[in-house]
Amino acid sequence: MTANSKSSALILGFSLVIALGLLGWLLGKAAIEYKSYERVVTVKGLAEKEFPADVVIWPIKFSAADNDLTKVYQTLEDNSRKVSDFLKSGGVEASEISFSAPGITDKLAQQFGGQGRAEFRYTASQTVTVYSHNIERIRTLQSRLSELGKQGVVLSGNNYESRTEYLFTRLNEVKPEMVEEATRNAREVANKFAKDSSSVLGKIKSASQGQFSIIPRDKNTPYIKKVRVVSTVTYYLSD
């Protein structure tokens, strides 16, 4: 290889190194400048509405006690019939009523030494459950429960298992409207931020929908449900 060829090769290689270095610097500078212009704001939008529950689950628990097991079962059977008649007379359909198996406790079998003898050997309980879409009808019947007491039905309604449960099952119907409202509220917040910072609100960069929550409005009106969702939206900002 001649001296001229060697010189040319060295010059070409040196030029390539400089060109590549310059290109890397320019690309890095461009990325930094692009990042500095990518200004964003992240806001949250809330949508909250109240809806009436559309399903009620009402357990009616009653009990009996006796020293004769046959009489205990007979009392439960009579009470089941009384409860069923009471419900049907109030407009509840037979298909909305279900009966649990009786639960029997033999206190003599559970008795330990030193304990006093129980007044009744056998105690029993049973639950009649109503599953209905007619909330108002069931609430009216609940206010008349004393009628069962007057018929000799011993009601046990102070434990957790006997609490009435109200459900809202139409969430899919109200989701689109609530998500739209949450997004609209988020944009209002973002517009206010942009105005206060002398910026212009741009397009959405990203958005995410939070989980829907369904809770009673308060402890006294569990049949009114509060549905809530929060959307998180990130917008571009420009001067």
The CA-atom distances, in angstroms, between 172 and each of 45, 46, 177, 179, 213 are 19, 18, 10, 11, 13
Specify whether 64 is located in the same domain as 44.
no
Same domain, 17 and 77: no
- Please give the Cα distance from 86 to 142 (Å, whole number): 11
Same domain assignment for residues 154 and 173: no
Lowest mean pLDDT of 76-85, 174-183, 191-200, 227-236, name the range: 191-200
Of 152, 167, 182, the residue at which a domain comes to its end is: 167
- Determine which helix (DSSP H) or strand (DSSP E) holds 190, and give its type and residue range: helix 171-196
Q: Is the pLDDT of residue 4 over 60?
A: no
Number of domains in the chain: 3
Q: Has residue 19 got a pLDDT over 80?
A: no
Residue 7 lies in domain:
1-37
Residues 142 and 63 in one domain: yes
Write the CATH number for 208: 3.30.110.170
Last residue of a domain, one of 122, 145, 167: 167
Residues 124 and 173 in one domain: no
| d(C-alpha 67, C-alpha 41), whole Å | 74
Domain endpoint, select from 151, 167, 183: 167
Is the per-residue pLDDT at 170 higher than 60? yes
- Do 95 and 193 lie in a common domain? no
Q: Are residues 148 and 238 in the same domain?
A: no
At position 109, the amino acid (one-letter code) is A
At 32, the pLDDT band (50, 70, 90 cuts) reads: very low
| Burial class of residue 131 (count of CB atoms within 10 Å of its CB; 0-12, 13-18, 19+) | middle
Residue 148 and residue 62 share a domain: yes
Claim to verify: residue 196 and residue 147 sit in the same structural domain:
no
Q: Are 224 and 53 in contact (CB under 8 A)?
A: yes
Does residue 23 register a pLDDT over 50?
Answer: no
* Spatial CB neighbours of 157, under 8 Å, sequence gap ≥ 6: 60, 61
The CATH number given to whatever domain includes residue 68 is 3.30.70.2970
What global pTM score does this model have?
0.75
User: Which tens digit of pLDDT belongs to each residue from 69-119?
Assistant: 999 999 999 999 999 999 999 999 999 999 999 999 998 877 665 556 678
Taken in order 230, 188, 206, 235, the sign of the CA dihedral is negative
DSSP-derived secondary structure for 42-80: EEEEEEEEEEE--EEEEEEEEEEEES-HHHHHHHHHHHH
Residues 142 and 180 in one domain: no
What residues form DSSP beta bridges with 57? 131, 165
**Do 63 and 153 fall within a single domain?**
yes
Residue 159 has pLDDT above 90, yes or no: no
Tell whether 138 and 78 lie within a shared domain: yes
